[in-house]
Structure 1
Amino acid sequence: MTEPSQAPNTRAVIIGGSLAGMLAAAAVRDHVTDVVIVDAHEIPVGPEPRPGVPQAAHLHVLVSGGAEAVHELLPGAVGQLLGSGANRVPMTTNMVMHSPEGWYRRWRRDSHYLIAASRDLFDSVVRQHVLKDSKVTVRSPAKATGLVGSADRVTGVRLHGADGEESELAADLVIDASGRASRTPRWLAALGVTHLSEDVVDAGYAYASRVYRAPVPTHNWPVINLQADPRRPGPARAGGILPIEDGRWHVSLMGTPGGHPPRDPAGFDAFARTLRHPLVADLIAQAEPLTGITVTHTTANRRYYYERLRTWPDGLVALGDAVAAFNPVYGHGMSVAALGALALRTQLSRHGLGSGLARRAQRAIAQPVDLAWTLATGQDIHYATTQGRTAGMLDRLLHRYVSRLSHTATGSYHVATALTDVLTLQSPGTSLLRPSVLAAALLGPGRPPLNAPTFTPAERRLLAAADISLPSATG
C-alpha cells in the first residue's frame, strides 16, 4: 500500500454522523484537506443517546474482524473503549451459548473475541477520536436532500438547514453513511442512474431490550446467548445478556411474528421464560432494572447492489447500513461498517481521488457485506414467517451443512474455531469447505453433548452469592 497522498483543496462530505459516518471520516481524512460531516440531528459530546439511532437501545457488539478494522482506522480507540469499561470477550471462552444444536463448550482461545459495550459508548469513543482532527468538522442540524452532479460525477450535496435555507455544499467525494434511511437510490434515479438491484429478507423479528444493574461483577463475565431454532414449530424466540460498562447487563429478547416480546415488565419477564432454556429468566430475576423496555420492529435484512450497476458516478461512495442493513440478532452491523471504511481507505491509498476510485471502493466495500449478508440471510430464510425470499434446494443443503458444523462444534475444538473464524468476519465462508473441516463435520462432535449451561467454579460462586442456583453441566 502506498503512503496517503493529500490532494490540495479537496473536500469529502459525509452524510450521517453515526458510527459509520465517523469511521468514513477516519478513512478519508489523510487524503483530503477538508472533511465535513452532515447530520440532521445535533451530535452529542459524550456517551449519550444520539437522535435518529433507535437501534441503540439494543445489543451491540464489535466482533474481532471489525475491532481490528477500527484499530487500523483509529489507533487507540479500542484501547479507550476497554479503558472506559467495555468488555473484551474471548469467543467461545467467555460465552455461554445455546445453539439449535446444543450447548457450546467454552473452548480456550483468545484470538477470536468481541467487544461488548453500549452503543452510546461505542459512538462516543469513535466520535472523540475522529473529531479531535481539526480538518474534520460537523454541520448539524442540516439535512441532505439530494446530490449535485450527473450520472457521470457527483460534485456535492444539497442541504436543508435548521433555518429552512436551501444550499449546496461542493465536494470531491460524497460518502453516504446515513444508515437504513438512505435516500441514495432515489437520488441516483434523479441523476439517471437506474436499474439498481435490491434484496430484502425479513423474518419479522421484533426486539425488546432493557438494561439492568448486574448482580455479579461484569468484568470477565460471559456473554449469554440463547439462539432460536427455525426448525421448531411456532414462533422463534431468542435472548441474550451482554455485560457492558458500569457493572450493567444489557438484555435483549427477540421473537418472530406470533411471538414478539412485549413492552411491559411482567410480560418481558414472562417472555424470557419461554425461551429454549430459562437461563436468561433466572439471571435477570436477581438483577435490578435500570431502564424501561424499548421495542423495535426494524430488523429486516436489506441490501442495495451498488457494485453491480453498469453506471456509477465518480465522487460517490456508500457504506454501512446505507449499503446493507442486517438483522441485528447476528451482531455484524458495526463491524461491516468498519471493514467497509477500511476498504475505502485502502482504495484511496492505492488510487487517490482520481477517476474510477468510487467504483473500485464500492466493489471493495461489497466484500465484507457479502459474508455478513450470507450469514444473516442464510439463517433468516428458514423461518416460516420470512418475507422477501424463500429457501431453495441449495439453501436447504447449505443450512443442513452449517447445522452439521454447529452440531460438531459443540464437541470439536477444530470446528468451533473454524466457525468462529467466519462469525468474527476474519475468514471467508469458503473456509468452512476446507478438507479438514469437511472431514471433522463427517466424524461429528467426538464428545457427548452438554445438558446444561457451562459456568466456571468461580462464576458459580458469584451466582450463589447472588442467590442464583443453576444445574451443573454434564457431558
Structure 2
Amino acid sequence: MAGMLAAAAVKGHVDSVEIVEAHELPAGPDPRTGVPQAVHIHWLQTAGAEAMDALLPGSVDLLLAAGAHRIPVTTGMVICSPEGWYRRWERATHHVITASRDLTDFVVREHVMKDPRVSVRTRTRVVGLLGDRHTVTGVRIRRADGTEAEVRADLVVDAAGRGARTPQWLDGLGVSGLAEAHVDSGFTYASRVYRAPVPTRGWPVIGVQADPRLPGPGKSGGILPIEGDRWHVSLMGAPGGRPTDDAEAFEPFARTLRHPVIADLLRHAEPLTGVSVTRSTANRRHYYERLRSWPEGLVVLGDSVAAFNPVYAQGMSVAALGALALRDLLATDPGPGLARRAQRAIARPVDAAWTLAVGQDIHFPTTQGKRPNPADRLLHRYVGRLSRTATGSFRAATALTDVLSLQAPPTSLVRPGVLLTALIGPLRPPSDGPSFTPAERALLNGLDARDPAHG
C-alpha cells in the first residue's frame, strides 16, 4: 500500500516510476503474499481516505462501488470503550471506509498501474542502496533466478514495511546514530470472515475495547462490514488471554470480552474461513527525521518508518498522509534538501499516530519497551475522563474523533474549551448496553425468532 501510494505521489513529477515487488501481484482482489496483516480487520480513517483520494482522485468512489462501506462516526458504530458505550450521535463528524485489505489493495493498485509512467518488477528484491552518505543514486536488486543488477534512480522511496533493511544499509553508507523505539503490548490477533446474517449496507461497526485498568489480560474485538455481505471479525488478547487458531474456540473467546455483543452476533453468522493468527503487533518506529545528516535521493515511507499496533487502524492512513506530504513537496519545493524536508513532513502524521497508539499501549501490564511515567498516568486519567464525557457529550466526542481520525493533533485535546468540557462531564446519562437502532434491533429479533434456542 505504501509503495503504491508513493508511486501515486511522485508519478506526476518524474519521467517514470518503477516499483520493485518481491512477490507476484494478483490479477484481482485476492490475497497477496507478503501482507500477513491482510487477514485482520482494516479501515481507512477520515484523514487517510481524504489523502488517498487526493493522491488518486476517485479512488474512494471506486472502493465504494466495489462494495466497501462508508461508516459515519460515531453514528454507524456500536463501540464499548473502557469508559462506557459511545453514543451514536445523529450528526456524523467523520467517517471510516471499511473493506477487506485485498479489495483496498486491488483498487489502489489498479488506479496507480493504469498510468503508463508506472511499471513494476515482480519477484525481485532490493538488496542494497547505491551511493554514499551524501546521495543515494539507486538500488541493487536480486531477481528470482539469483542474478543481481543495479537500478539507477533520482529518487528512491523505501516502502518495504516492517522488514525494511534501510537502517543497516544507511549504516553501511556511513549514516549512523539512528534512534528507534519499540513498544510491544504483546497482543495476539485472531481473525476470520463470516457471511453476515443481516444486510451489511448501513450495518454498524461493532467493537469492544480492552480496558488496561481491569485485572487480567486485556482483550478486545471488532466486527467490520466488508464487501460481499460479509463480516470481518478480529479478536485480540494480551499474554495470559490470547486467542488461538482453533476455530471451535473463536466464538467462546469472543464471549470472554468485556461485553458479549460480538459473540451474540456471531452465533447467527456463517464462518467462511478458518482462523488466522498474528503475534507480531508491536509498535516500532525509526526516527529518520532526527538524523544529523540525510542523503539526497532517499525517502522512507509507511511501515518502514513506523508500524503500529493494528488495533488502532492507523497504518494505511499514515502511509497515505505521508505520501501526500511527499507529493506536495515535489510540487512546491523540489530543490536541494527535498529528501530531508520530505522525511520531516512524513514524520508529522507518524507523530500523531504514535502518540495515540503508544499512549494507550503503555498502560497494559504486559507491555514491554516503555512503562508509563507520572505524566503519562496523569494524561491517561485525563483522556479517560474525556472519553467518559464523550459517552454523553457531542462536543467531547467530536474532540476525540477529530484526533482518532488523524485530522487533529493529540495536543488539541488539552485546548481550554476541551478541558472545560471534560471538567463538566457527560451531559446525558450513559447507555447500559449496545445502542442498536430500532431497524437493527428488528433484524436481530428476527434472527432470534428463527433460532429460539439462542433467543
Both proteins in one fold, TM over 0.5: yes
1:12 alignment partner in structure 2: none
**Does residue 259 of structure 2 align to residue 277 of structure 1?**
yes
* Residue pairs, 1:26-65, within 5 angstroms: 26-65=8-47
Aligned pair partner of 1:409 in 378, 390, 408 = 390
Contact 2:189/2:278, CA 8 A, preserved across alignment: yes
Superposition CA RMSD, Å: 0.9
> Deviation digits for residues 140-181 of structure 1, max 9, x if unmatched?
110000000000000000000012111000000000001111
Aligned pair partner of 1:262 in 244, 247, 250 = 244
- Give SS of 2:156's match: strand
Give the Cα separation in 2 of the matches to 1:253 and 1:330: 13
* Residue pairs, 1:250-329, within 5 angstroms: 250-329=232-311
* Gap change, CA 1:50 and 1:468, over 3 Å in 2: farther
Give the Cα separation in 1 of the matches to 2:28 and 2:293: 41
Give the Cα separation in 1 of the matches to 2:160 and 2:92: 34
2:210 alignment partner in structure 1: 228
Q: Tell me how far 1:434 sits from its aligned partner.
A: 1.6
* Residue pairs, 1:35-434, within 5 angstroms: 35-352=17-334, 354-434=335-415
- Give SS of 1:426's match: coil
- Give SS of 2:13's match: coil
Contact 2:94/2:405, CA 8 A, preserved across alignment: yes
Q: Tell me how far 1:222 sits from its aligned partner.
A: 0.3
Give the Cα separation in 2 of the matches to 1:425 and 1:106: 20
Q: Tell me how far 1:468 sits from its aligned partner.
A: 7.3
Q: Tell me how far 1:332 sits from its aligned partner.
A: 0.6
Give the Cα separation in 1 of the matches to 2:155 and 2:91: 42
Give the Cα separation in 1 of the matches to 2:178 and 2:375: 25
Contact 2:222/2:234, CA 8 A, preserved across alignment: yes
- Give SS of 2:128's match: strand
**Does residue 421 of structure 2 align to residue 440 of structure 1?**
yes
**Does residue 444 of structure 2 align to residue 463 of structure 1?**
yes
Identity across the alignment (%) = 66
Give the Cα separation in 2 of the matches to 1:110 and 1:84: 23
Contact 1:282/1:468, CA 8 A, preserved across alignment: no
Contact 1:49/1:120, CA 8 A, preserved across alignment: yes
Unaligned runs of 5+ in 2: 451-455
Contact 1:253/1:261, CA 8 A, preserved across alignment: yes
Give the Cα separation in 2 of the matches to 1:46 and 1:20: 19
TM-score of the superposition, structure 1-length normalised? 0.94
Q: Tell me how far 1:87 sits from its aligned partner.
A: 0.3
Q: Tell me how far 1:110 sits from its aligned partner.
A: 3.0
Unaligned runs of 5+ in 1: 1-18, 470-475
* Gap change, CA 1:90 and 1:468, over 3 Å in 2: farther
Count of matched residue pairs:
450
Give the Cα separation in 1 of the matches to 2:251 and 2:71: 26
Give the Cα separation in 1 of the matches to 2:343 and 2:90: 38
Contact 1:286/1:468, CA 8 A, preserved across alignment: no
1:454 alignment partner in structure 2: 435
Contact 2:93/2:398, CA 8 A, preserved across alignment: no
- Give SS of 1:466's match: helix
Contact 1:211/1:289, CA 8 A, preserved across alignment: yes
Q: Tell me how far 1:393 sits from its aligned partner.
A: 0.8
Q: Tell me how far 1:357 sits from its aligned partner.
A: 0.3
Give the Cα separation in 2 of the matches to 1:257 and 1:83: 40
Contact 2:136/2:156, CA 8 A, preserved across alignment: yes
Q: Tell me how far 1:398 sits from its aligned partner.
A: 0.8
- Give SS of 1:231's match: coil
Give the Cα separation in 2 of the matches to 1:393 and 1:270: 37
- Give SS of 1:367's match: helix
Contact 1:42/1:140, CA 8 A, preserved across alignment: yes
- Give SS of 1:164's match: coil
Q: Tell me how far 1:109 sits from its aligned partner.
A: 2.5
Greater Cα offset, 103-112 or 420-429: 103-112
- Give SS of 1:30's match: helix
Give the Cα separation in 2 of the matches to 1:467 and 1:319: 48
Contact 1:177/1:321, CA 8 A, preserved across alignment: yes
> Deviation digits for residues 62-86 of structure 1, max 9, x if unmatched?
0110000001000010000000110
> Counterpart amino acid of 2:19?
I
Contact 2:3/2:159, CA 8 A, preserved across alignment: yes
Q: Tell me how far 1:278 sits from its aligned partner.
A: 0.5
Q: Tell me how far 1:111 sits from its aligned partner.
A: 3.4
